[in-house]
Chains A and B, each alone.
Chain A
Amino acid sequence: MSQVTSRLISRVILPYRREDAGAPPSLHADYRSTMLRAPRLAPLAIPATLTEVTGPDHAWARLMGPAMADLTVQHRGEPQGQRIVVAGLVLDEQARPVPDTVIEIWQANAAGRYIHSRDDWPAPLDPNFTGVGRVITDAEGRYRFVSIRPGAYPWGNHKNAWRPAHIHLSLLGPAFATRLVTQMYFPDDPLIEIDPIANAVPMPYRQRLVARFDIGTTVPNWALGYRFDIVLKGRDQTPFEEEHDDH
């Protein structure tokens, strides 16, 4: 391929959309830790280059390792708690599936305790539960994992602060621009309404983070089912092409 052709290909960059109205601000004073960590200056908008529209696609097995889709079978016995299935789709903003992408998962145990040395509130650890997993979307963007429902836990944000039950989810998506870390909440949890982290997302968009109980995902005599779709930044359909008047 000639140098000229190579340059032409490189010039057609289809950008990803910028964040939408549901994105939280960096600074949300009710979430105290943002006060000294949120940048004071607005982020600088840059045009998408090859750097932003590429990403380590298909490399999850070399990086994170193979799937660990059942968080209840990682130790000698079964963990305590309500067994759950979480399933859904990973989509882009045009509702097209995002296939072969990794979702990393971590969560507290049924008592609301993390297997982390800095989590020392007086709730029991469960030797049979680590709370870490990983799933890969299939060709239709579907994923599914098995776990136990995490408990709520107290934190130091303010007096009598409690985090609603949640599962942490991390996605790379197809590009550097689509990186997303989020938290999934449960539909019957009154703590969501008073949680500063969930409420950093303005209403009604906060409710995008609330899974739906679904009898169809529920497995008879075995586990409750929840549906949670994850929508990554999408790209507009038509590539922006520059004038090729210099060759």
Chain B
Amino acid sequence: MTTDLEALNAAPRLDNQDPTLFGQTPSQTVGPFFHYGLPWKGGADLVGRSDLGARPDLMPPEHFLLATSGVSGAPQGEVIEIAGGIYDGQGTPLNDVMVEIWHANAAGRYASDEDGREEVPLDPHFVGFGRGATDANGIWRFRTIRPGRVPGPGNTLQAPHIALSVLGRGLLKRLATRLYFADGEGNGDDPILALVPPERRDTLIARRRPDGVWWLDIVLQGENETVFFDL
């Protein structure tokens, strides 16, 4: 009698398929080499077609296979530029990290099934998600529109804000934070800002520079450490 070789499978072991281990897949770092895999051309430009966000300088041109901008037209709202440095615990700017943004359109509606408020208009030209690598000097930068206000818990209204994710070498998991505007309507009673110790709120508030750019430095560690959120 011979073995039914076709029916043989490898013996199971403690691994991804083990039902006793079922649960959230743990996070791992993006590492230093994500540039040819994640930030597409125009990923950091939510307003028009450009190459903003990508780092094609870090690979041979025939190996840049990521997408180019899919922006279909000009979204409604005030066009803004948001930017800043990202620094480690010694104040060194980080040129090997990546930032993602997520925010509502100018009317205050998220382009998401989960935001079903039909009385607030969607914008066919605005998704609200962006991604950009830091440049050689450790600066992140997006072109987008200024978001409207969205509801908070209970009857509260949140001040205009942009949700940020920071990913990079040395970051075992995504760091989530927010950007508010220094002149934002409702900053004073924003339900999330209110949870932040007053002396740390400034780490979330972008200030308009003379050139018009809304600037927010992100400090991963140490003095003036940015407030990151547990979601």
Contacts and interface: CB of A to CB of B under 8 A. Distances in A.
Interface of A: 1, 6-7, 9-11, 13, 16-26, 28, 31, 33-59, 61-65, 68, 74-75, 88, 93, 95, 104-106, 114-119, 130-132, 168, 170, 172, 174-177, 179-184, 187, 197-198, 200-201, 204-216, 227-233, 242, 246
B90 interface: yes
A198 B9 CA distance: 27
Contact of B36 (A20, A42, A131): A131
A194 B24 CA distance: 23
Given A22-B24, A31-B170, A33-B169, A215 B229 contact: no
A134 to B, nearest CB: 9
A206 B21 CA distance: 10
Given A6-B119, A56-B102, A115-B60, A230 B192 contact: no
Given A49-B158, A62-B127, A168 B31 contact: yes
B21 A46 contact: no
Majority SS of interface residues in chain A?
loop
Given A38-B221, A118-B58, A132-B66, A22 B110 contact: no
Majority SS of interface residues in chain B?
loop
B26 A9 contact: no
> 5 nearest interchain CB pairs?
A106-B37, A33-B170, A65-B67, A54-B112, A10-B151
25 contacts: A19-B173, A24-B27, A25-B172, A38-B220, A44-B229, A49-B158, A56-B127, A63-B131, A106-B36, A114-B36, A132-B36, A132-B37, A132-B65, A176-B231, A179-B100, A179-B165, A181-B30, A181-B167, A204-B14, A207-B15, A207-B21, A212-B10, A215-B10, A227-B16, A229-B17
Given A22-B23, A231-B22, A197 B172 contact: yes
Given A33-B170, A175-B114, A242-B154, A46 B16 contact: no
Given A20-B24, A132-B36, A197-B29, A43 B228 contact: yes
Nearest to B226: A39
B121 interface: no
B37 A104 contact: yes
A106 B163 CA distance: 25
A75 B63 CA distance: 9
B85 interface: no
B107 interface: no
Given A106-B33, A230-B25, 4 more contacts: A6-B117, A22-B26, A34-B171, A43-B175
A177 B175 CA distance: 11
A210 B17 CA distance: 9
A31 B172 contact: yes
B28 interface: yes
A183 B170 contact: no
Interface in B201-231: 220-222, 225-231
Contacts of A56: 102, 111-112, 127-129
B153 interface: yes
B150 interface: yes
Contacts of A17: 24
A53 B116 CA distance: 12
Contacts of A106: 33-34, 36-38
Contacts of B199: none
A205 B16 contact: no
B102 A170 contact: no
B185 to A, nearest CB: 16
A205 B26 contact: yes
A231 B23 contact: yes
B70 A216 contact: no
Nearest to B6: A215
Contacts of B231: 16, 18, 46, 48, 52, 176-177
A227 B37 contact: no
Contacts of A232: 24-25
Contact of B67 (A20, A64, A231): A64
